[in-house]
Amino acid sequence: MKKNIFRILAFAIDMLLINIILVLLGYVSFINPKHKAVSDEIKVFNEVQAEYNKLSSRIDEMLYDNYIDYSESNEIKSSYPYFKDVINFLPVNSEIDSNLKSKTKSYIDNIYNNKYYSYTYSINEANLLVDIIGFFLSIFYFGLLEWLFHGKTLGKKIFKLKTVDNNNFKKEIPMWKFLVKSLFISEAVFLFFNIICICICHQGFDGVLNAKWYTKAYSLIYNFQYIYNVFLLLIMLIRNDSRCLHDIVLDTRIAMIDKRNREVKEEKNEEVNN
């Protein structure tokens, strides 16, 4: 159990380090020249979202009596500028039927959803180069760098852990196994699919591969990534040997070590002389 906890904490530290590097790179102008535009996009969307949340409840109050007067019409124009066109659906000082009510609410939802689709695509498209760097950084850190340091990352060093061959503690693990492992345990695969989706989609809403399609694909990738990470964690926790999916596939395991780089048995805290 102790090794599992250390392994989770080590991975959290490693991922935190990578994400800090990527966030800092996002502020570098030649890597992310659209950083200012991204900040403005976030600000605008936050305003749209705030208006949408208020208007969604306020419109029900306005339409409760099946009637929109001039003061309510002016309120929509002045207080909800991003949704002011909705007034085109609502005749002022005239009775509004249930069908028109439904169309009005749908129109408000469509305005918000389109803003959300555009926002999601714009933010991720602006960070495309950062995502590409993140893809290679994950492979480098969990693959090449861990191989160079003989099965250790920064997180593993802190908690005295090491990736070793499943059958022979002293056997050197080939580099290709670490590179494959980096695809199993890092965000590299999900970043790859996200990069592909960004590259084949466009900002608008015409055609199939548009901002709306990208947003749905992005959500699917994110949700699958979450499920996949939970799946990996469950495999590690339910197995007696604490081996994860990539350990089973690549015939490796995580070992606890002492200061002299010798394996330590978790059960009895005894050194193993392999």
Q: What digits encode the pLDDT tens for the residues 148-188?
A: 999 999 999 999 999 999 999 989 999 999 999 998 887 88
Structure tokens at 178: 């670490």
Q: Is residue 105 part of a domain?
A: yes
- For 13-55, write each residue's pLDDT tens digit: 999 999 999 888 888 877 778 778 788 888 999 999 999 999 9
The number of domains in the chain is 2
Q: Is residue 5 part of a domain?
A: yes
Task: Give the pLDDT score at 271.
Answer: 47
Average pLDDT over residues 211-232: 93
Task: Give the pLDDT score at 26.
Answer: 80
Q: Is 186 exposed, middle or buried (0-12, 13-18, 19+ CB in 10 A)?
A: buried
* Highest mean pLDDT: which range of 33-37, 128-132, 210-214, 242-246: 210-214
Q: Is residue 266 part of a domain?
A: no
Mean pLDDT check: name the lowest of 69-83, 161-175, 253-267.
253-267
Indicate whether 157 and 200 sit together in one domain. yes
The mean pLDDT of the chain is 89
Alpha-carbon torsion (245, 251, 256, 259), positive or negative: negative
Indicate whether 26 and 150 sit together in one domain. yes
What DSSP designation does 159 have? T
Query: Of 126, 160, 175, which closes a domain?
Result: 126
Indicate whether 98 and 232 sit together in one domain. no
Indicate whether 81 and 108 sit together in one domain. yes
Question: Confidence class of residue 63 from pLDDT cuts 50, 70 and 90?
Answer: confident
Q: How far apart are CA 96 and CA 98, in angstroms?
A: 7
pLDDT at 133 over 80: yes
pLDDT at 89 over 80: no
Task: Give the pLDDT score at 154.
Answer: 95
Residues in Cβ contact with 259 at an 8 Å cutoff, skipping those fewer than 6 apart = 160
**Which string of b and e fits 11-44 if b means at least 16 CB within 10 Å?**
bebbbeebeeebeebbeeeebbebbeebeebeee
Task: Give the pLDDT score at 249.
Answer: 92
CA distance readout (Å), 33 to 28, 29, 56, 131, 143: 8, 5, 36, 14, 29
Structure tokens at 83: 């949704």
Q: Which domain holds residue 220?
A: 1-32+127-261
Indicate whether 85 and 60 sit together in one domain. yes
Percent of the chain surpassing pLDDT 70 = 97
Indicate whether 133 and 230 sit together in one domain. yes
Q: Is residue 62 part of a domain?
A: yes
Q: Are strands 271-272 and 252-257 parallel, antiparallel or unpaired?
A: unpaired
